[in-house]
Chain A
Amino acid sequence: MKTPKIKLPSIRSRNSLVTSFLALIFSLLLGMVVILISGYSPIESYKAIFGFSLSTVKGFALSLSQATPLMFTGIAFALAYRVRLINTGAEGQLFIGAMAAALVGVYVHNLPGLAHVSLALLAAFVSGGIVAGLVAIARVYTGSNEIILTLMLNQIIIFFTSYLANGPLKPPSSGVGQTERILESAQLPRLIPQTQLTSALFLVIAVAIIIQFILDKTVFGYEIKVTGQNLRAAQVAGINTSRVSIITFSLSGAVAGLGGAAMVLGVNYRFVEGFSPGYGFAGISIAALAAYSPLGVIPSALLIGILRAGTITLSRTTSIPVELVDLIQVLVIIFVAAPKLTQSVVKIFNSLTHKFLKNAEPVGGENS
């Protein structure tokens, strides 16, 4: 059997590629304004940000490791969006996946490395999937708003895991909310020593390829797309849209759960309270930037990862906080979600440059 050829990210039209690019540019420009207000030079700052991330091995590794969890949550949001469901619950699914993986990592003994890691990942996958699945079932059968349900569940899960990490699961000598350290057999190998970059990167890229393949080449992927683009037509066409929505949304949660496991098994080697600085919500920007294409999430997350890595460094030397990246992420969502807005900005830009160029026409020019 022929191995399936892997296409470039299936971005539906060239337009969305351009929109994403422009969205990123405009957001960076507005970010510059914030830096300016703080009294620093935007040019210097951005040079520092990108310089660190791209020119040193450590910097690039940090970018990739920052990008990895974003890839998981980005894929999760993008997948759910394909059936027009909004998974704002990635944060909670991240936490429950992390806790599940930690429990397997700490309390399951006598398993060889590969099996132990696989079991932990499976536990995270299933727990994230179940949490999302329940929401999907509620949404499909009762019409409940999945945005509010997942947001509420986020809080519930975060509080509950925090309770566990501060209570029953807390190591006796620990000062913070966390679990015991996971066994070595459950740890994910580091790709580059002294960095946070783990083999989870390979895992998430594989997940992206698989899901993209499902969307483009399989009949289930076809049904996902029809369900998302015209629910009624899908039903008339014999597609079981309830099943499609629930499975897809569950898969979305499962992927987010894997992201949590990646953090536990590879970075912290235990569940730590508050380990996610909003990776779940960042996934929304990543997905939007990638035009909701799972494979497109990879480069999209890398870009933001570079930004994050650089800003972390920057915040150590200046008072510019890391939250700047959060702001840029929100701006990206705005520009991608409102393509007409982006177009308007382009138009304004065009007319300004046009005026500028007209006025700047050299004396004795071509057609004087």
Chain B
Amino acid sequence: MELVRMEKVSKVYPGTVALDNVDFVLNEKEIVSLLGENGAGKSTLMKILYGMTSPDKGTIYYKGEKIEFKKPMDAIDKGICMVHQHFMLVPAFTVTENIIAGSEPCVKGFVNMSKARAEVKSLIDRFRFNINPDIKVENLSVGEQQRVEILKVLYRKADIIILDEPTAVLTPQEVNDLFMILQQLREDGKSIIIITHKLKETKALADRVVILRDGKLIKDDIDPDNVTTKQLSEMMVGREVNLNTRRPSTSIGDVSLKLEKLNVVVDGVPKVRNVSFEVHEGEILGIAGVEGNGQSQLIEALTGLCNPLTMNMKVNDIQIQGSSEKFLKAGIAHIPEDRLSMGLVKEMSIMDNIILGYHREEEFCSKSGLLKRKWIRSYSSEIKDTFGIKAPNVDTSAGSLSGGNQQKIIIARAFSRNPKAIIIAHPTRGVDVGAMEYIHKKLIELRDQGAAVLLISADLDEVRTLSDRLLVMFEGEIVSESMPGELNEIEMGLLMTGGHTMVESEVKS
């Protein structure tokens, strides 16, 4: 039975066509996966459905009736609710407060807390969510926080639930839990739309798959059981995609980066425990792990951005410690996980951004402290051309470039300094398939030129495809070392969440 019908929906933003004549249908009791690259239009389509924005053209029907949402509250009133990718929670409030805020049960203006708590508790019990309603949200795990978000939606009696990239931050186990919950909700009569670009999960969970590309509907009746992930990604991108072919290194050299006994403690809590490993020239060492298990602190230690308790780090047998400046000078390039906020200065020109981090080197700065402007200009022009950064000239401000081009600046900057070691974190988080290909290609190129690459990622596929050797990090420790392919996904998932299967004794000591 048809629940929602969106007909010929179009939406134009200045400079881009977000949606072009898109039709979308949602039936009762079904889970639909909405696939597409960044910018394909899936977020925009859902924003229209849940009332955040309105279409330029097209009509929306709900249960056969034509409707027009002016604001999210209108959609919520009709039972259409959204669970956002970035949680809309107040860490300082309790679970109950978070759930009821905005729709509180009250008596003459005063909140009836006991009634609220009872209602929330009954929802928790009914769906077996297993959360304490009185706990502050800041003390919950990511998976638990997501469940609070879902509870918010259920509290408001949603019939249609839209989830935006729900599994981006979950461990494999939590993903399974989520799937069970969603299936249960479907049995309960709800309809669910999942916006995602995770192909495997789509196949596992969805009843039907819809693909958007460049604002247009490509296909909307795909049966996930009858299609391969390769076919799905090709429909998403519009051409052949070779994402998961391995290209192992052909010449692994000596040890370039050697780390021994790294311990990082933050506010009295040990975040990295006794981690040691080596990365060789011409090798990509991958560290897989769910975010929040010490990776950020590991990266900070390796780039001089924090004060580890103990650390013995050598690059080409020279000991390194101290400020981030020293690490950069020693030839360690860092591609940060939050590239835009940590890697670029939007207000500055491309030229100024390209020398960022290396601005004190003799090449760019004279002994007296004057910048060698002429040389900097020609250097950055060359890089701009080599890496294909699309902009009128190097004086253009970095903020005016597209996201992909901004990423290119950061990668180009690091790769052009012939670094001895590269530390790259979550390289393709939030990046679409096309850009993913580019970044992977560049990484392999660099490795083949002899650099030692440390790749830290929560994306299992990425880490297994690119690495020559694979470590798993859990709760600050390295819990396994293996060659890619030795362990299957389930085993890796277990290791990432604490269930040990094999542990290399050399690594742990």
Interface residues of A (CB under 8 A from B): 12, 217-220, 222-223, 225-226, 229-230, 232-240
Selected from B341, B348, B359, the residue in CB contact (under 8 A) with A232 is: B341
Contacts of B359 in A (CB 8 A): 219, 222-223, 237
The 5 A-B pairs of least Cβ separation, nearest first, read A238-B325, A237-B357, A238-B324, A230-B345, A219-B365
Selected from A236, A238, A239, A240, the residue in CB contact (under 8 A) with B342 is: A236
Q: Complex Cα distance A267/B467, Å?
A: 73
Selected from A12, A218, A232, A237, the residue in CB contact (under 8 A) with B369 is: A218
Contacts of B344 in A (CB 8 A): 230, 233
Q: Are A219 and B369 in contact (CB under 8 A)?
A: yes
Contacts of B365 in A (CB 8 A): 219
- Please classify how large the interface on chain B is, using the bins under 10, 10 to 19, 20 to 34, 35 or more: 20 to 34
Selected from A218, A232, A234, A238, the residue in CB contact (under 8 A) with B327 is: A238
Nearest B residue to A239 via CB reads B325
Q: A229-B347, A236-B305, A238-B327 are in contact. Are A218 and B342 (CB under 8 A)?
A: no
B360 CB within 8 Å of chain A? yes
Contacts of B369 in A (CB 8 A): 218-220
Kindly identify, within residues 296 to 335 of chain B, every residue whose CB is under 8 Å from any CB belonging to chain A: 303-305, 323-329, 334
Selected from B348, B352, B357, the residue in CB contact (under 8 A) with A238 is: B357
Q: What is the number of contacts between chain A and chain B, taking CB atoms within 8 Å?
A: 69
5 contacts between A and B (CB under 8 A): A217-B373, A229-B345, A230-B341, A233-B343, A236-B357
Contacts of B373 in A (CB 8 A): 217
Q: Are A235 and B341 in contact (CB under 8 A)?
A: no
Contacts of B360 in A (CB 8 A): 219, 238
B227 CB within 8 Å of chain A? no
Q: A219-B359, A240-B323 are in contact. Are A232 and B371 (CB under 8 A)?
A: no
B107 CB within 8 Å of chain A? no
Q: Complex Cα distance A233/B344, Å?
A: 6
Q: Are B346 and A230 in contact (CB under 8 A)?
A: yes
Q: A219-B370, A222-B371 are in contact. Are A238 and B323 (CB under 8 A)?
A: yes
- Nearest CB on B from A183, distance (A): 38
Nearest B residue to A236 via CB reads B342
Selected from A222, A223, A235, the residue in CB contact (under 8 A) with B305 is: A235
With A229-B346, A232-B342 already in contact, 8 other A-B pairs whose C-beta atoms are closer than 8 Å: A230-B346, A233-B356, A236-B305, A236-B342, A236-B343, A236-B357, A237-B359, A238-B360
Q: Complex Cα distance A72/B343, Å?
A: 35
Q: A236-B303, A238-B357 are in contact. Are A225 and B343 (CB under 8 A)?
A: no
Contacts of A12 in B (CB 8 A): 347
Q: Complex Cα distance A219/B357, Å?
A: 11
User: Which of A222, A229, A233 has the most chain B CB atoms inside 10 A of its CB?
Assistant: A233
B336 CB within 8 Å of chain A? yes
Contacts of B347 in A (CB 8 A): 12, 229
Q: Complex Cα distance A230/B347, Å?
A: 9
Q: Complex Cα distance A232/B303, Å?
A: 13
Q: Are A226 and B348 in contact (CB under 8 A)?
A: yes
User: Which of A219, A225, A234 has the most chain B CB atoms inside 10 A of its CB?
Assistant: A219
Kindly identify, within residues 452 to 495 of chain B, every residue whose CB is under 8 Å from any CB belonging to chain A: none
Q: Are A236 and B336 in contact (CB under 8 A)?
A: yes
Q: Complex Cα distance A220/B366, Å?
A: 12
User: Which of B303, B346, B348 has the most chain A CB atoms inside 10 A of its CB?
Assistant: B348
Q: Complex Cα distance A223/B345, Å?
A: 11
Contacts of B346 in A (CB 8 A): 229-230
Nearest A residue to B397 via CB reads A13
Selected from B303, B342, B371, the residue in CB contact (under 8 A) with A217 is: B371
Q: Complex Cα distance A240/B305, Å?
A: 11
Q: Complex Cα distance A219/B327, Å?
A: 19
Kindly identify, within residues 347 to 384 of chain B, every residue whose CB is under 8 Å from any CB belonging to chain A: 347-348, 352, 356-357, 359-360, 364-365, 369-371, 373
Q: Complex Cα distance A239/B324, Å?
A: 8
Q: A219-B370, A222-B359 are in contact. Are A238 and B328 (CB under 8 A)?
A: yes
Q: Are A218 and B370 in contact (CB under 8 A)?
A: yes
Contacts of A239 in B (CB 8 A): 325
Q: Are A236 and B324 in contact (CB under 8 A)?
A: yes
Q: Complex Cα distance A223/B357, Å?
A: 10
Selected from B327, B341, B371, the residue in CB contact (under 8 A) with A233 is: B341
- Nearest CB on A from B366, distance (A): 9
* Chain B positions 37 through 66: 1 when the CB is less than 8 Å from some CB of chain A, otherwise 0: 000000000000000000000000000000
- Nearest CB on A from B228, distance (A): 40
Q: Complex Cα distance A218/B367, Å?
A: 11
Nearest B residue to A219 via CB reads B365
- Nearest CB on B from A222, distance (A): 6
Selected from B356, B364, B371, the residue in CB contact (under 8 A) with A237 is: B356
Q: Complex Cα distance A220/B341, Å?
A: 22
* Chain B positions 367 through 407: 1 when the CB is less than 8 Å from some CB of chain A, otherwise 0: 00111010000000000000000000000000000000000
Contacts of B327 in A (CB 8 A): 238
Q: Complex Cα distance A232/B357, Å?
A: 12
Kindly identify, within residues 212 to 245 of chain B, every residue whose CB is under 8 Å from any CB belonging to chain A: none
- Nearest CB on A from B417, distance (A): 12
Nearest A residue to B327 via CB reads A238
- Nearest CB on A from B203, distance (A): 38
Q: Complex Cα distance A238/B347, Å?
A: 19
- Nearest CB on A from B332, distance (A): 10
Q: Are B341 and A237 in contact (CB under 8 A)?
A: no
Q: Are B371 and A218 in contact (CB under 8 A)?
A: yes
- Nearest CB on B from A22, distance (A): 21
Nearest B residue to A221 via CB reads B371
Q: Complex Cα distance A229/B325, Å?
A: 19
Contacts of B371 in A (CB 8 A): 217-219, 222
Nearest A residue to B356 via CB reads A237
Contacts of A240 in B (CB 8 A): 323, 325
Q: Complex Cα distance A220/B370, Å?
A: 9
- Nearest CB on B from A44, distance (A): 44
User: Which of A12, A232, A237 has the most chain B CB atoms inside 10 A of its CB?
Assistant: A237
User: Which of A217, A238, A239 has the most chain B CB atoms inside 10 A of its CB?
Assistant: A238
Q: Are B342 and A233 in contact (CB under 8 A)?
A: yes
Contacts of A236 in B (CB 8 A): 303, 305, 324, 334, 336, 342-343, 357
- Nearest CB on A from B458, distance (A): 20
Nearest A residue to B338 via CB reads A232
- Nearest CB on B from A11, distance (A): 13
Q: Complex Cα distance A232/B343, Å?
A: 8
Nearest A residue to B339 via CB reads A233
- Nearest CB on B from A189, distance (A): 33
Contacts of A226 in B (CB 8 A): 345, 348, 356
Contacts of A230 in B (CB 8 A): 341, 344-346
Contacts of B342 in A (CB 8 A): 232-233, 236
Q: Complex Cα distance A222/B359, Å?
A: 8
Q: Complex Cα distance A310/B304, Å?
A: 57
Q: Complex Cα distance A236/B306, Å?
A: 11
- Nearest CB on A from B373, distance (A): 8
Q: Are B370 and A217 in contact (CB under 8 A)?
A: yes
Nearest B residue to A217 via CB reads B370
Contacts of A219 in B (CB 8 A): 359-360, 364-365, 369-371
Contacts of B345 in A (CB 8 A): 225-226, 229-230, 233-234
Nearest A residue to B355 via CB reads A222
Contacts of A223 in B (CB 8 A): 359
Q: Complex Cα distance A12/B348, Å?
A: 10
Q: Complex Cα distance A339/B347, Å?
A: 17
Contacts of B357 in A (CB 8 A): 236-238
Contacts of B305 in A (CB 8 A): 235-236
Q: Complex Cα distance A219/B356, Å?
A: 11
Q: Complex Cα distance A236/B339, Å?
A: 11
Q: Complex Cα distance A199/B370, Å?
A: 30
Q: Complex Cα distance A100/B106, Å?
A: 64
Contacts of B352 in A (CB 8 A): 222
User: Which of B305, B324, B364 has the most chain A CB atoms inside 10 A of its CB?
Assistant: B324
